[in-house]
A and B are shown apart, each in its own frame.
Chain A
Amino acid sequence: EVQLVESGGGLVQPGGSLRLSCAASGFTFSNYWMTWVRQAPGKGLEWVADIKDDGSGEFYVDSVKGRFTISRDNAKNSLYLQMNSLRAEDTAVYYCASLHLTWGQGTLVTVSS
């Protein structure tokens, strides 16, 4: 079964950091670009970042550039999102996805004092 499972979300104060993880199974992870997408409460979907299948290139939405870093470990079938200098507007459910294959169940990040 193709599956993505996120972890690492939680409550963090403004200016703080969190690292999200995503464990992939059921498909050849190293063959796929991977993506983080977020959804603020009651809002639509917003693309956050992409990483090439071999990790050689990363792409970000303007609002997170310089604060978030996407990375992957193909040996561990894992995707990561390091989030620094978090702001209230980063509060959302964060989904790990291979956009033409499958999505994870999401992990909630709440930025609040």
Chain B
Amino acid sequence: QAGLTQPPSVSKGLRQTATLTCTGSSNDVGYQGAAWLQQHQGHPPKLLSYRNNNRPSGISDRFSASRSRNTASLTITGLQPEDEADYYCSAWDSSFGGWVFGGGTKLTVL
């Protein structure tokens, strides 16, 4: 039940674009795609997208997700101070029948 791989931290300037990555395998990210979550300190995770780029209602279109083979990406355009948070990816792992998560990326907006 190995996890997905995310860079521990990313730093970008205000109004810039950040791209966060999530690497898995053909059994998870490559199988049905990934979901992305945003978590501010002391708050529960918030779903940003699922199955690569389906956004729940109310999620800004500044957040867009994509996938290339076994790597999922989350692109955040026009970075705002409130985008500073931890971002997690998750995917269903068909090899053992459960969910796997990435270790999370801490996004800092300079």
Interface residues on A, range: 20 to 34
In contact, B51 and A47 (Cβ under 8 angstroms): no
Q: Is B35 an interface residue (CB 8 A)?
A: yes
Which residues of A have CB within 8 Å of B50? 99-100
A11 to B68: give the CA distance in the assembly, Å: 44
Choose among B35, B45, B46, B102 the residue that contacts A100 (Cβ–Cβ < 8 A): B35
Question: Does the CB pair B98–A59 fall under 8 Å?
Answer: yes
CB distance from A7 to the nearest CB of B (A): 14
A50 — which chain B residues lie within 8 A by C-beta?
98-99
State the Cβ distance, A4 to closest chain B Cβ, in Å.
9
Find residues 1-50 in chain B having any chain A CB closer than 8 Å to their own CB. 1, 35, 37, 44-47, 50
How far apart are A111's CB and chain B's nearest CB, in angstroms?
A: 21
Q: Is the CB–CB distance between B44 and A106 below 8 Å?
A: yes
Contact of A103 among B47, B98, B101, B102 (CB under 8 A): B47
- Which A residues form the contact surface with B (CB < 8 A)? 35, 37, 44-47, 50, 59-62, 95, 97, 99-106
Q: 19 new A-B pairs (CB below 8 Å) besides A44-B101, A99-B35, A103-B45?
A: A44-B88, A44-B102, A45-B88, A45-B90, A47-B99, A47-B100, A59-B98, A62-B1, A99-B50, A99-B90, A99-B99, A100-B50, A100-B51, A101-B47, A101-B56, A102-B47, A103-B44, A104-B44, A106-B44
